[in-house]
Structure formats: C-alpha cells, structure tokens
Amino acid sequence: MLDIMKLGEEVLREKCTPVTEFDDGLRILIQAMYETMEEADGIGLAAPQVGVDKRFFVVGLPDGTKKEFINPQITGTSVETSPYEEGCLSLPNVYHEVIRPSKVIVSAQDMNGNPFTLKASGLMARVIQHEYDHLDGVLFIDHLSEEEKSKVVRAYEKKNRRNRHR
C-alpha cells in the first residue's frame, strides 16, 4: 500500500513532469496505485497523490473499467457541462458539486508506452478531468468560489482532526 498525500502536502500543488521511462519501476508503481485506490474506495488516483511528481493517473470505475493514463492531454471538451458531487482521496470525507464539461477527448499512453485516444463521457469524463487537474497541482476545491472553498476546507479540517492526531 502507498501513503496517500493529504491537503497541505506540497507535492499536491506542483506541476508534474512527463514520464520518459516506461520501465518495470513504472509498471510496479501503477499496480500499487490501482491497489491503493481500490483499498481506499476511490475511482481515480494521480501520481502526485502518492508523492510522485510525474504526469500520470489511474482510473477504476464501479463498472470494472480500469485504465491508466500516462502523459495525458485533453484535446477536446464539450460545450455542454454537467454538475457532479466530487470528492478526493487527498481531502477525505468532504464533497462538493463541481461543474465541468460533460465529455472530453483525451490522448495518453498506457503503462507500456502505447498511445491511445479516448472519447469519454459520464463518470469517466469526470474522473479524467479531476485526475488531470492533479498533474497541474489543481484540486477540485480550486473550482469553487472562495467562500465555498473555505467552507469545504474548514469542514475537511474538522472531520479529519481526530485522524491527524492519532
């Protein structure tokens, strides 16, 4: 299991750099990220959330879809947007509605370096955009108004106080 970085850790605010080596080290790390995400009941996990400032993330949806996105680029977004109650393993136990494009087109590489392009909608489109943000040091709370953001941060600090002092 990997440790998941929480709000306040600097690595969550860094702009990550591209992956250049598609080696066994990367594949082992990605496997560990899938396991860590599943153990934490998450549907996505980005490298900076496990302390690695590289551009990749993994997704695991309730329908069983599992996919890693390495050096992803979002090349298209729909004009149509939709709301969704987002959460994040780096801010456990708090959620807030975020409005984002309903569909995206993403190009990326898999863990062997093979390129692919995916047209995503629904939950997949949502998770891709949330995880992609992590690679640029952006968290879902950054999409909220200052007032909403501080409300969510206060709720997060209150709810996680007990864990922090354990």
Footprint on this chain of Ni ion (rule: CB under 5 A): 88
Give the whole-angstrom CA distance, residue 139 versus residue 87: 10
Give the whole-angstrom CA distance, residue 46 versus residue 39: 15
Q: How far is the CB of 127 from Ni ion (least distance, A)?
A: 9
68 belongs to the catalytic site? no
Give the whole-angstrom CA distance, residue 144 versus residue 71: 26
Number of continuous H segments (helices) and E segments (strands) in the chain: 3, 7
SS3 81: strand
Nearer to Ni ion, 88 or 108 (CB): 88
Pair 90, 31: CB distance under 8 Å = no
Residue the block writes with tokens 């309730």: 62
Question: Which residue has the closest beta carbon to Ni ion?
Answer: 88
Nearer to Ni ion, 19 or 46 (CB): 46
Nearer to Ni ion, 92 or 113 (CB): 92
Measured at the CA of 148, the angle between CA 142 and CA 149, to 5 degrees, comes to 35
Structure tokens at 40: 């934490």
Given the residues 21, 38, 131, 146, select the one marked as catalytic.
131
Q: How far is the CB of 112 from Ni ion (least distance, A)?
A: 25
Q: How far is the CB of 134 from Ni ion (least distance, A)?
A: 6
**Greatest distance between any 2 Cα atoms in the chain:** 46
Nearer to Ni ion, 70 or 139 (CB): 139
Q: How far is the CB of 47 from Ni ion (least distance, A)?
A: 12
Active site residues: 131
